[in-house]
C-alpha cells in the first residue's frame, strides 16, 4: 500500500513539466519521476525526469528522495557499445567521465516512453542502434508464491536503424547503495556461476534486523542475476574499473574483487555484460534480474504478546536463496510475462 501511495504521491503531486530540449514524440505525459523497480517500500527505484535534463543521464533514486528533497541514489548503470562507441542508457556515469576529462561515454537519446501498471518501456536512440528497454515488475495475483518473490527485471532489445549489422555489446551494473542509505556501512559479496545462471549476492557485513535509515531497510540482501550463456561475462570491482573495462574491451574479464569495504569507498559494483557480435537486431533480449530479499520480513506480535520473526511466503516452496534465484530467473516464465 505504501508503494502505491508513494507512486500516487509522486505522480499526482509533483509538477508535470515537459523539458524543452528533449524531443519526445507524442509524449503528452511527463511525470516528475518514472518507476524502474517497485516491489515493496524497501525495494522501490525511480528515475527522475528533471526539467531540461536528459533522463538517460540521471542516477536512479530510492522513493524517499522525493520526501527528503535530497538524493538517495540507487546506483545502476546501463551502457551499450555500438562499433566501439559507448552510449549510456541508464545512470550518470557520463557526468563523472566528463569531469575527469579522460573518457567519453555518450548519453543516449530517449525518443519515447510508456508506463503500464507493471512496466516502464523506454525507446532509445544509441547511434546506429534503436533500443527498447523494458523495466518489468510483475504482478501475479493468482500465484502468491511468485507474487512474493522480490525480483524485478530489465530486458534490452536492439535493432539497427540503418539496416546494417553493427558490433554490439550491452552492460548493466548495480552498486551497493541499494543495501543502505548509510554509505559508511561495510558490504561483502559473492559471485556464483553455474551452467544455467550467474549471480552476484551482496550483503551488509553488520545488518541491523528490522533497521531503517532514511526509509531504506538495513537487513536485506541484493541479487543481480543473468541467465548464463554465450557472450555473458561478469566481474566485480570499483565503478571505475568495471565500467572502463566494458568501455575498453566490450566485456568483463571475470576478475573478482574481494576487498570488502564501505558502500561509498571506491563504490563496489556488480555488473554483467553480453556480447552479441555483429548484428542488425538482437536474436533475444538481454535480461537482468534485480532482487532485494529480506528474511525474516515481519516482526509479528501474537495475541499473547510474544513476538515472532516471520519469513516471506515463497519460503514454503523454495528452501535456499540459490534455488529461489534460479527458479525466479526462469527465462521462459519471464518471457511469457514479458510478451503479454
Ligand atoms: C521496439 O518496440 C516497438 C513498439 O513495440 C517496435 O515497433 C520495435 O520494433 C521495437 N524495437 C526493437 C529494437 O525491438
Ligand atoms: C553508519 O554506519 C557507520 C559504520 O557502520 C556507523 O558507525 C554509523 O553510526 C552509521 N550511521 C547511522 C546514521 O546509522
Ligand atoms: C558477509 O557478512 C555476513 C554477515 O556478517 C556473513 O554471514 C557472511 O558470511 C559474509 N560473507 C562473506 C562472503 O564474507
Ligand atoms: C533525510 O536524510 C537525512 C540524511 O541525509 C537523514 O538523516 C534523515 O533521517 C532523512 N529523513 C527522512 C524523513 O527520511
Ligand atoms: C581485469 O580488468 C581489471 C580492470 O581493468 C584489471 O585490473 C585486472 O587485472 C584484469 N584481470 C584479468 C584477469 O585480466
Ligand atoms: C508451490 O508449492 C505448492 C504446493 O506444493 C504448489 O502447488 C505450487 O505450484 C508451487 N508454486 C510454485 C511457483 O512453484
pLDDT band at 330 (very low <50, low <70, confident <90, very high): low
Lowest mean pLDDT across 54-58, 94-98, 145-149, 264-268: 94-98
Report whether pLDDT(87) > 90. Answer: yes
> Of all protein residues, whose CA lies closest to atom 4 belonging to ligand 5?
241
Across the range 305-311, mean pLDDT stands at 94
49 vs 230: CA distance, rounded Å: 35
Probe ligand 1: pick from 127, 129, 157, max atoms within 8 Å of CB?
157
- Is omega for the bond preceding 296 within 30 degrees of 0, making it cis? yes
pLDDT band at 317 (very low <50, low <70, confident <90, very high): confident
140 vs 78: CA distance, rounded Å: 27
The pLDDT > 90 percentage for the chain reads 66
User: Three-state DSSP class for 329?
Assistant: coil
> Of all protein residues, whose CA lies closest to atom 14 belonging to ligand 2?
182
**Does the C-beta of 294 come closer than 6 Å to ligand 6?**
no
Report whether pLDDT(333) > 90. Answer: no
Probe ligand 2: pick from 182, 215, 218, max atoms within 8 Å of CB?
182
In degrees and rounded to multiples of 5, residue 247 shows phi and psi of: -65, -40
**Mean predicted lDDT score pLDDT of the chain:** 87
Atom of ligand 4 nearest to the CA of 214: 14
Across the range 273-300, mean pLDDT stands at 94
Rg from Cα positions in the chain: 19
Probe ligand 5: pick from 253, 254, 271, max atoms within 8 Å of CB?
253
Across the range 160-176, mean pLDDT stands at 98
Lowest mean pLDDT across 18-27, 294-303, 330-339: 18-27
30 vs 113: CA distance, rounded Å: 9
What is the pTM for the complete model shown?
A: 0.89
Residues near 338 by Cβ (< 8 Å), separated by ≥ 6?
134, 136, 153, 155, 285
Atom of ligand 2 nearest to the CA of 213: 14
Report whether pLDDT(195) > 90. Answer: no
Report whether pLDDT(175) > 50. Answer: yes
**Domains of the chain by start residue, with CATH:** 4-338 (2.70.98)
**Does the C-beta of 70 come closer than 6 Å to ligand 4?**
yes
Q: What is the pLDDT of residues 242-262, one digit of tens each?
A: 999 999 999 999 999 999 999
Looking at residue 310, its pLDDT comes to: 94
Higher pLDDT, 191 or 94: 191
Amino acid at each position: 500500500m505504501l508503494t502505491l501511495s508513494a507512486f500516487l504521491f509522486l505522480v499526482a503531486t509533483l509538477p508535470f513539466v515537459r523539458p524543452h530540449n528533449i524531443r519526445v514524440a507524442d509524449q503528452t505525459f511527463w511525470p516528475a519521476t518514472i518507476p524502474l523497480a517497485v516491489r515493496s517500500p524497501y525495494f522501490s527505484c525511480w528515475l527522475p525526469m528533471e526539467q531540461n535534463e536528459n533522463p538517460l543521464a540521471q542516477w536512479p533514486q530510492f522513493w524517499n528522495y522525493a520526501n527528503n528533497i535530497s538524493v538517495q541514489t540507487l546506483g545502476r548503470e546501463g551502457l551499450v557499445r555500438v562499433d566501439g562507441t559507448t552510449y549510456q542508457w541508464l545512470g550518470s556515469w557520463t557526468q563523472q567521465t566528463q569531469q575527469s576529462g579522460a573518457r567519453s561515454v555518450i548519453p543516449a537519446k530517449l525518443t519515447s516512453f510508456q508506463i503500464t501498471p507493471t512496466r516502464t518501456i523506454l525507446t532509445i536512440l544509441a547511434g546506429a542502434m534503436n533500443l527498447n528497454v523494458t523495466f518489468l515488475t510483475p504482478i501475479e495475483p493468482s500465484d502468491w508464491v511468485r507474487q512474493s518473490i522480490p525480483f524485478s527485471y530489465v530486458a534490452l532489445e536492439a535493432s539497427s536503424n540503418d539496416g546494417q549489422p553493427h558490433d554490439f555489446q550491452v552492460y548493466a551494473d548495480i552498486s551497493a547503495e541499494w543495501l543502505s542509505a548509510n554509505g559508511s556501512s561495510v558490504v561483502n559479496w559473492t559471485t556464483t556461476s553455474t551452467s544455467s545462471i550467474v549471480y552476484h549476492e551482496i550483503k551488509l557485513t553488520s545488518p541491523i534486523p528490522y533497521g531503517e535509515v532514511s526509509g531504506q531497510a538495513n537487513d536485506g540482501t541484493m541479487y543481480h542475476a543473468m541467465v548464463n550463456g554465450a557472450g555473458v561475462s561478469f566481474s566485480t570491482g570499483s565503478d571505475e574499473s568495471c565500467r572502463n573495462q566494458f568501455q575498453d574491451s566490450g566485456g568483463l574479464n571475470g576478475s573478482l574483487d574481494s576487498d570488502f569495504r564501505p558502500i561509498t569507498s571506491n563504490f563496489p559494483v556488480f555488473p554483467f555484460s553480453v556480447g552479441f557480435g555483429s548484428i542488425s537486431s538482437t536474436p533475444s533480449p538481454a535480461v537482468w534480474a534485480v532482487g532485494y530479499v529480506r528474511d525474516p520480513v515481519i516482526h509479528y506480535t501474537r495475541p499473547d504478546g510474544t513476538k515472532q520473526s516471520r519469513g516471506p511466503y515463497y519460503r514454503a516452496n523454495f528452501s535456499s536463496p540459490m534455488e529461489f534465484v534460479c527458479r525466479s530467473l526462469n527465462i521462459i516464465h519471464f518471457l511469457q510475462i514479458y510478451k503479454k
